[in-house]
Amino acid sequence: MIKILDCLDKDVRDKSNGIILNIIKAGANELEEGQQHPYYNQLSSDGTISQLIQLYKNEDESIVQYSFEQTFAYLFRTLPLPPIIRKEIVDLLKIVSDFEQLAFLAESQENHDAILEENFESELLKSKFHTIDDLKLIYNLLKYGSNSNKIKVALAVKDKVEKFADDEYLEEFNNSMEYEFLKLNDEGKLKIKDKATGIIALNTTII
């Protein structure tokens, strides 16, 4: 894998990175909360991760950067991002509203300060379009966070989260979706309610 990444032809490297992302993403598909990526140790020991970081630092095309960011979010699930790329990765994931990847990274407490920089907790659950990923991120921040960050997040989201545990509100929320394809099915509504209920339970131990 390193030999491919060392190729001088940028098009070849970009395609290689896409292939690597797909491999890493496939390896993460069956992971449960708290499980480390199955390829992390191998890719760390053989130098692939270091090579990917160097390529990312040298990349100036935003679409290619985002491919790298997804790769790192999958690989470093449950682990602290390397300090050299932590702020950059987290900031760009926030810019593109990739809350799914942020939720993965929030399984490591060491990523929390970067995620919560500039009072980011106040932005959670503002959009209708990634509610379940927002809730997953909130849950992980509360479950794995430091006491000070837990309190900050809990206070910021308490009222908003409690609404999603209410069937009537959840139905109104779903009906307010502008397009039919955005509406939740019964399974989607149940996932949101279950995650909200889990957050409420965590909140009772924090505030």
Domain ranges in the chain? 1-115, 125-207
Mean pLDDT value across residues 30-39: 90
Query: In which band, very low, low, confident or very high, does the pLDDT at 1 lie, cut at 50, 70 and 90?
Result: low
Average pLDDT over residues 48-76: 86
The residue among 90, 104, 101, 107 whose CA lies nearest residue 142 is 107
Q: What sign for the dihedral angle of Cα 161, 163, 166, 170?
A: negative
* pLDDT at 142 exceeding the cut of 80: yes
Helix, strand or coil, per DSSP, at residue 5: helix
The span from the CA of 15 to the CA of 197, in Å, is: 42
Query: Six-digit token pair at 152?
Result: 């900050």
Taking 80 as the threshold, does the pLDDT of residue 51 lie above it? Answer: yes
Tokens for 182, please give them: 């955005």
- Please state, in angstroms and rounded to a whole number, the distance separating the CA atoms of residues 16 and 13: 5
pLDDT tens figures, 123-136: 999 999 999 999 99
- End-to-end Cα spacing for the chain: 48
Token pair 């942020």 in the structure block, residue: 102
pLDDT band at 16 (very low <50, low <70, confident <90, very high): confident
Cα torsion angle, 64, 89, 117, 143, sign: positive
Among the residues of the chain, which ranges form H helices? 2-5, 10-28, 40-45, 48-58, 62-75, 83-95, 99-105, 112-115, 131-144, 147-163, 167-175, 186-204
d(CA 21, CA 30): 16
Mean pLDDT of the chain: 91
